[in-house]
């Protein structure tokens, strides 16, 4: 069963946990501090983090499609997108750990868990691409570099966005 431009609905359902992770991480980052932020401002942080995560993951995925022409030629762009999605599913345990640390233990370590999760997601995407490609070292290295750039952008942009909103 196809949906839209020939993409399966399964692909969208596979991405939902990834989108949920970005939303949860944004919520955790937005709620930090005393007193509790206004619900509208908190929703703004969640939406901005969600947008940054989804757009960043999309750019990351398309970069992998562009920079792996041999894999794209042999397996198609859909296989590369599946590999990236599989890698980004590794964000789930880091989001759970971030929520547990923030909500139960009272630690302020959301950014650390988010950054580590993004880096591991890139490494996992690289491993999945290495299975498909002939140049396994390049297929594995490039996603790690891309994930480092994505994690750095996340670490810089989310606090700037949070500070731009009227939070206490």
Residue in the block written with tokens 């790690």: 144
pLDDT tens digits for 89-135? 999 999 999 999 999 998 888 889 999 999 999 889 888 888 887 66
Q: Are 49 and 158 spatial neighbours (Cβ–Cβ below 8 Å)? A: yes
Question: Distance (Å, rounded) from C-alpha 47 to C-alpha 155?
Answer: 16
Q: Which contacts (CB < 8 Å, 24+ apart) does range 104-110 have?
A: 108/32, 110/25, 110/28, 110/29, 110/32
pLDDT tens digits for 47-70? 888 888 888 888 888 888 888 888
pLDDT tens digits for 130-152? 888 766 677 778 888 888 888 88
Q: How far is CA 42 from CA 28, 46, 56, 102, 159, in A?
A: 9, 6, 21, 16, 13
Stated pTM of the model: 0.81
Question: Distance (Å, rounded) from C-alpha 23 to C-alpha 159?
Answer: 15
Q: Are 71 and 133 spatial neighbours (Cβ–Cβ below 8 Å)? A: yes
């Amino acid at each position: 069963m196809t949906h839209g431009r020939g993409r399966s609905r399964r692909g969208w359902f596979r991405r939902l946990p990834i989108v949920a992770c970005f939303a949860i991480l944004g919520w955790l980052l937005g709620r930090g501090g005393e007193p509790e932020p206004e619900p509208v401002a908190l929703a703004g942080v969640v939406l901005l983090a969600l947008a940054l995560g989804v757009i960043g993951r999309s750019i990351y995925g398309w970069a992998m499609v562009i920079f792996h022409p041999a894999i794209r030629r042999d397996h198609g762009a859909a296989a590369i997108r599946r590999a990236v999605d599989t890698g980004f599913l590794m964000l789930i345990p880091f989001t759970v750990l971030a929520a547990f640390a923030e909500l139960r233990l009272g630690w302020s370590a959301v950014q650390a868990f988010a950054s580590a999760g993004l880096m591991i997601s890139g490494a996992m995407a690289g491993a999945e691409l290495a299975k498909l490609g002939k140049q396994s070292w390049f297929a594995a290295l490039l996603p790690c570099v891309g994930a480092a750039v994505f994690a750095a952008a996340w670490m810089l942009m989310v606090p700037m966005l949070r500070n731009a909103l009227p939070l206490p």
